Amino acid sequence: MPTPILDFDALAQAISGRTVLCIGDIMLDEFVYGEVSRISPEAPTPVIAAQRSEIHIGGAGNVARNIASLGARCVFVGLVGEDDAGRQLASALANHAGIESALVCDPSRPTTRKVRFVSEHFSTHMLRADWEQASAASEEVETRLIEAILPQIARADIVLLSDYAKGVLTARVIRHTIDATRAAGKPVIVDPKSLNWAIYRGATLLTPNRKEFAEATRSRADTPKDIVDASEDVMRLADCEAILVTQGEHGMTLVPRQGEAVHVPAFPVKVRDVSGAGDTVAAALAVSIAAGADWDTALRMASAAAAVAVGKQGTASVSAAELRRKILPHATLAAEEKVVGAPGALEAQLAEWKQEGLRVGFTNGCFDILHPGHVKVLTAARAACDRLIVGLNSDASVRRLKGADRPVQDERARAEVLAALEAVDLVVIFEDDTPIDLIRRITPSVLVKGGDYTREQVVGHEVVEATGGTVVLVDILKGFSTTALVHRARGGTK
């Protein structure tokens, strides 16, 4: 079967009907922004002239915010103290669209609160002050948490445990939650904090960052290969289906128990603040998997969501519209730069993309009169890869395939129109009737055609699959045909 593609609009629609049960350590995040221009006369420390402050739902609560902002419904279970910070969080959750909360109150502990002081000029965190009691919940509070969690599992499509090691996710709470969720036949994602991954046994997916993974596995984890090599033992220990290791600017590596590992490079982005990026990744994974996405699609959603989040200040949430713009980015080159002309230009560009670890996709056609059906295929093709190359039949090739009166537009005009689309990264004109030689030169990771083809009919499918690539078929829009458009323009009745 062809590999499912990242059809963003269809996935977003599916996400809107899903519910995620999120459990974890909620906290109140405050960011104090100001200018630093002098050193205190009282001590050798910078003085920040505070200008504004922002308060956000943080920790696992930020995961809940992102779940809701991405379009799903979130049911949140967490722990707060009997204090102003706890009341602020309860009020904020109650007023947040898409979130339903079941907070357990423990009067014996303070609500976790973090205040960060940030220099506006340098976009740098200068100091963080924490109010917290990072100890496990008492047995009585554990019982109350479990009683709040278990009835909600039936309502959820997926369960997400966001562990900040502040006391909510004790071994007992984790065990009851995972066992009940798997008994219900539903997936469990864990963003772990404990180095003893045996306590998460039975989870579907673990999502540590590189540092957490290296400490838990006692490995360097410097490269995707290191991560794959170190995953086997801990995956068996945790009895999970997959491990995803986030590596900041170096991307993400997913190691499934069955199948090949997948590495997705990070999106190029100007980093403003990494606070809460891991929360965004966990939320994007949860809503994608809940909506039926495969590992590869969920990974690309998460990578794009992280790129949006780190481009914002503070503990940021990501909207579905922002995610769509990141997944289907604006073209980075002018149209005339995207049409391959000079000998060796294609190979040079492929070598550059390969060095960057980017996944190259390919599709082809005559594209004589560009119409919405073409645009849908090209957009879907770009969503399935990092860079999209379009093979364009030359004028002579089109005449052989379509007749002496075609093409309507010459190859240069057709190439420039294609290159102007944001979904297209490179256009290569080929002279043959099929693009098989071009496909052999490119050896793309993804080969895309319209759904009016079968996999076996797609030229080059053997070449791509032999090198570990995949064939993707995109549903076509009914009612759009270049031949019919040309016929009508020339006085026909079709």
| Burial class of residue 475, CB neighbours in 10 A (0-12, 13-18, 19+) | middle
CA dist 78 and 105 (Å) reads 9
∠ CA 142-199-179, nearest 5°, is 70
| Active-site pick, 106, 191, 279, 296 | 279
∠ CA 107-113-116, nearest 5°, is 170
To the query of whether residue 191 is one of the catalytic residues in this protein, the response is no
Please say whether the beta carbons of 422 and 329 come within 8 A. yes
Strand 205-206 relative to strand 252-256, pairing? unpaired
Q: Is 195 helix (H, G, I), strand (E, B) or coil?
A: coil
Please say whether the beta carbons of 174 and 168 come within 8 A. no
Neighbours of 337 (CB within 10 A): 11
CB half-sphere exposure, 185, CA atoms < 13 A: 0
Tokens standing for residue 251: 């991307």
In single-letter form, the type of residue at position 212 comes to E
CA dist 426 and 408 (Å) reads 22
CA dist 103 and 93 (Å) reads 10
Q: Is 331 helix (H, G, I), strand (E, B) or coil?
A: coil
Please say whether the beta carbons of 173 and 149 come within 8 A. yes
Is the torsion defined by CA of 334, 464, 327, 209 positive or negative?
A: negative
Please say whether the beta carbons of 367 and 392 come within 8 A. yes
Please say whether the beta carbons of 308 and 323 come within 8 A. yes
CA dist 367 and 428 (Å) reads 13
Please say whether the beta carbons of 361 and 449 come within 8 A. no
Strand 360-365 relative to strand 262-264, pairing? unpaired
- Active-site amino acid positions: 279
